[in-house]
Amino acid sequence: ALTASLCAGSSPASATSTASGAVHSATCRPPSGWRTTRAVPVAGSSTDFNLTSFDGTMIRMHWFPDPAANGRRLPTILMGPGWGQSGDTDIGQAAIQGVLSIRQLWQGGFNVITWDPRGFGKSGGAAEVDSPSFEGRDVSSIISWVAHQPGVKLDRPGVPRIGMVGASYGGGIEFATASEDCRVDAIAPTIAWHSLVTSLDKNATPKAGWSNILESVSTSAHVDPETVAATREMNTTGRIDRSAVAFFKARGPAQYLSKVRVPTLILQGTVDDLFTLDEGITNYEALRSQGTTTAMAWFCGGHGVCLTDPGTTVDVSALSLAWMQHWVARNASVPVLHGVAFVDQDGTGYAAPSYPPAAGAPFVASGSGKLALVADGGSGPPTVAPNAQAANAVDAVAYAVTPGPAANAVDVRVTLGRHAVIVGAPRVTLTYSGNVTPGVRPTRVFAQLVDPATGIVVGNQVTPVPVILDGRSHTVTLPLETVAYTASLGSSLELQLVAATVAYITPRLGGSVDFARIRVVLPTANGLSKLK
């Protein structure tokens, strides 16, 4: 459980934000036409309705008013599903990846509505990847329908009290909706992204492992043809073209975060190698810089396999429910997370007032070596089985694209001579020269940190490094993916530079890279509180 130092029911910041929430409710106007929003009940179902959205697309909704309301009007939570999925209809389903169940939301005092996003399940249309202009407007239509239902708490006609939860695709829709519809009071996006370019095409290197998984789970759905074309090009050439980059960039939420002003709880996975910690951090920093009430928590999960102890100190389901009770139900007695909380590789929880935390003395190491550009001996899959405490349905698909220690690598040992919490993005500087066979695929190497004591890549994170292999000397400096790891006296980590990985496209191979100098800097934090 989070300690009292992390949470507050009525701190000065909470009181100020709650007051501004009341003003928000008084000034928010429903969209024109909300009074005529209607849905047709689905024959044979007590929960399903077909809603006609703004452009005539039919959206299938699943309505679950709290059966214990006893005549009370309650706030409503919208819970979006993951990519390729239908809206949740299993009331008692155990939550995974920190996603709340319908029953948990009932117990928290909320009505619940879920839906099949356009292109998926029983809904019509084609999936536009959580575009505010399409999926965002669909959800606005759902909110207008909710405003007509009995037992729904209203702040004014057409303005129901609304919160949003959901993971992955269901997290992205929260940003898209909150940026366009003032009727959303709070959001808690779980394992969502900042940009589909930085997440799926990191350093202009397509993330083939997860991209092919996402393509496979939507083969029976209707999706925008651009997503299919991008995957095909990625698998053929190792790249995606400018049209695909522009398409994914337009899906945000990077470019419209300035319009998200409601309290936002960002929940991200330390071992998520699709939407990495960097995606959540960038959202957090952008929202905080504009004055949006924002908190952030990291758990051992997400789009990835938890190979270490997940711990019990950061319960993202509980944090999400409390966020809804505090900001949507406006129960100031319910404590919520302030600042940042995260877990390390041992399941130990830490807290900081904000991110980034105060910097400590970094760990620094240098080395050199020559890397053969061959496919064999690359990074992943790991040889360590998923932790039984954290195993879930995601593991079955994630394991095969999870980085692992590489046999073909240039290794630089980082001696950890003291106890310290490594948290943040390591930085590497490479001075190198090399040659490669001609071809169209990009020239890349990949960098990862390995814990030699466990044989696990720290956080399951591997970062593509663009390299110029023309026989001349070059120097590149770049950050690696963010990690959270507690160092102890006498322990060590290894920076590995590898030629290939299961996580990304296979780059151009043949030839070698001679690293004349490798420098790695691991950031540490001061002033952290340990959670109990």
- Residue-wise pLDDT for 97-127, tens only, equals 778 999 999 999 999 999 999 999 999 999 9
Q: What is the arithmetic mean of pLDDT over 146-163?
A: 97
The pLDDT assigned to 5 comes to 39
Residue 388: the pLDDT is 63
Q: CA-CA distance, 367 to 55, in Å (whole number)?
A: 59
**Would you place residue 1 in the very low, low, confident or very high pLDDT band (cuts 50, 70, 90)?**
very low
The H or E element spanning position 139 is: helix 137-146
- Backbone phi and psi for residue 173, each to the nearest 5 degrees, phi listed first: -70, -25
Residues 6+ apart with CB under 8 A from 399: 305, 381, 382, 386
The three-state secondary structure class of 360 is strand
Place of tokens 């399941």: 347
Percent of the chain with pLDDT over 70: 94
10 has pLDDT over 70: no
Q: What pLDDT does residue 95 have?
A: 63
Tell me the pLDDT band of 217, cut-offs 50, 70 and 90: confident
Q: Check residue 451 and give its pLDDT.
A: 98
pLDDT band at 16 (very low <50, low <70, confident <90, very high): very low
Confidence grade of residue 12 (pLDDT, cut at 50, 70, 90):
very low
Q: How far apart are CA 79 and CA 112, in angstroms?
A: 7
Residues 6+ apart with CB under 8 A from 163: 75, 76, 77, 78, 110, 184, 185, 186, 187, 188, 323, 324, 327, 328
| Contact yes or no for 303/168 (Cβ under 8 A) | yes
Nearest C-alpha neighbor of 274 from the set 398, 383, 424, 445: 398
pLDDT tens-digit profile of 273-290?
999 999 999 999 999 999
pLDDT band of residue 266 (cuts 50, 70, 90) is very high
Helix/strand/coil for 153: coil
What band does 94 get if pLDDT is binned at 50, 70 and 90? Answer: low
**Other C-beta atoms lying within 10 Å of the C-beta of residue 5:** 12
Please tell me the distance from the alpha carbon of residue 274 to that of residue 279, in angstroms, as a whole number: 9
DSSP state of 443: P
What is the C-alpha separation between 119 and 361, in angstroms, rounded? 50
CA 521 to chain centre: 25
Sign of CA dihedral 180, 186, 192, 197: positive
> Radius of gyration over alpha carbons of the chain, in Å?
23
State both tokens at 508. 């151009």
Measured over the CA atoms of residue 81, residue 109, residue 335 and residue 95, the dihedral's sign is negative
Given CA atoms 491, 497, 499, 503 in this order, what sign does their dihedral have?
positive
Side chain identity at residue 159, one-letter code: V
By CB atoms closer than 10 A (0-12, 13-18, 19+), residue 226 is: middle
Paired residues of 190 in beta bridges: 167, 267
